[in-house]
């Protein structure tokens, strides 16, 4: 049994922060919802509708330098490039309990075949989305260095070939809207992460592949699949 405490690193000081709950958005980019042949959560008569939320355990975190181990459960391991928000405590005296402390680059690794089987039966996605190492992340940059998180260019390539190219401006629910929504349901705590959804272009990887994710203003992260 592995007893390491999952942490992420916050730059520039390199502080190690223990990871709490990992909240993830499903179908937060319309083009990705369409490529999954799924209903876009939004455009309803009452506004944007409700976001689709699922969770990963802290043990899903995988730090750069470690490989993504191809799980034996699947024949279809997919990459999903996502902007990730790291939550910290609210400033003293402020009404909000939490704020965004930093932003990072995340990969919402997905067992697509397992997920499709569960979706068809209306069953939970926990195995398809929450397995060990299903949340590779970069180091986090301070939120103050990303004053406008809604206009960041996102690029993911596999073995040097561009697979995903989008903008955080295409999110249906913004980071602030997601936090506001989650706060009404869950007690958000410092160290929690929010994976904000993926643009279109998701696809499979196989052992030997090199995945590089880039988000403007944050940097670049790479992971090898083994």
- Residue closer to Mg ion (CB basis): 108 or 139: 108
- Residue closer to Mg ion (CB basis): 80 or 139: 80
As a residue count, the chain comes to: 226
Shortest Å, Cβ 128 to Mg ion: 11
Q: Write out the DSSP string of 150-193.
A: TS-EEEEEETTEEEEEEEGGGBSS-HHHHHHHHHTTS---TT-E
Whether 166 and 200 have beta carbons less than 8 Å apart is answered as: yes
Any contact of residue 139 with Mg ion (CB under 5 A)?
no
- 193-195 vs 22-26, strand pairing mode: parallel
* CA dist 166 → 32, 102, 118, 144, 172 (Å): 10, 20, 28, 22, 13
Any contact of residue 80 with Mg ion (CB under 5 A)?
yes
Shortest Å, Cβ 30 to Mg ion: 14
In the set 41, 103, 104, 108, which binds Mg ion (CB under 5 A)? Answer: 108
Binding mask 171-200 for Mg ion (x = CB under 5 A): ---------------------------x--
Number of residues that bind Mg ion (CB under 5 A): 3
Alpha-carbon torsion 188, 130, 222, 160, what sign? negative
The residue whose Cβ lies closest to Mg ion is 108
Which residues, including other chains, have CB under 8 Å from residue 179's CB and lie 6 or more apart? 85, 87, 98, 100, 188, 194
Shortest Å, Cβ 201 to Mg ion: 12
Any contact of residue 28 with Mg ion (CB under 5 A)?
no
Q: How far is 75 from 133, CA to CA, in rounded Å?
A: 16
Shortest Å, Cβ 107 to Mg ion: 9
Any contact of residue 21 with Mg ion (CB under 5 A)?
no
- Residue closer to Mg ion (CB basis): 107 or 143: 107
Shortest Å, Cβ 195 to Mg ion: 6
- Residue closer to Mg ion (CB basis): 59 or 115: 115
Region of 6-14, 41-49, 80-88, 141-149 interacting with Mg ion (CB under 5 A):
80-88
* CA dist 71 → 117, 192, 205 (Å): 16, 25, 12
Summary count for the chain: helices (H), strands (E): 4, 17
Binding site for Mg ion (CB under 5 A): 80, 108, 198
């Amino acid at each position: 049994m592995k007893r390491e405490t999952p942490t992420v690193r916050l730059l520039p000081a390199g502080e190690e922060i223990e990871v709490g709950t990992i909240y993830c958005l499903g179908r937060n980019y319309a083009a990705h919802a369409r490529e999954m042949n799924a209903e876009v959560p939004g455009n309803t008569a009452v506004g944007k509708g409700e976001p689709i939320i699922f969770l990963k355990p802290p043990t899903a975190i995988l730090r750069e330098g470690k490989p993504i181990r191809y799980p034996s459960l699947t024949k279809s391991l997919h990459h999903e490039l996502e902007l990730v928000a790291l939550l910290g405590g609210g400033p003293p005296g402020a009404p909000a309990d939490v704020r965004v402390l930093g932003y990072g680059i995340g990969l919402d690794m997905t067992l697509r075949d397992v997920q499709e089987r569960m979706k068809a039966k209306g069953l939970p996605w926990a195995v398809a989305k929450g397995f060990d190492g299903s949340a590779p992340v970069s180091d986090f940059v301070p939120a103050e260095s990303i004053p406008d998180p809604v206009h960041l260019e996102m690029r993911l390539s596999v073995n040097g070939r561009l697979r995903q190219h989008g903008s955080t401006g295409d999110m249906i629910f913004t980071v602030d809207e997601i936090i506001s929504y989650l706060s009404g349901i869950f007690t958000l705590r410092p160290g929690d992460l929010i994976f904000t959804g993926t643009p279109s272009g998701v696809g499979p990887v196989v052992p030997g592949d090199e995945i590089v994710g880039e988000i403007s203003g944050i940097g670049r992260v790479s992971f090898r699949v083994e």
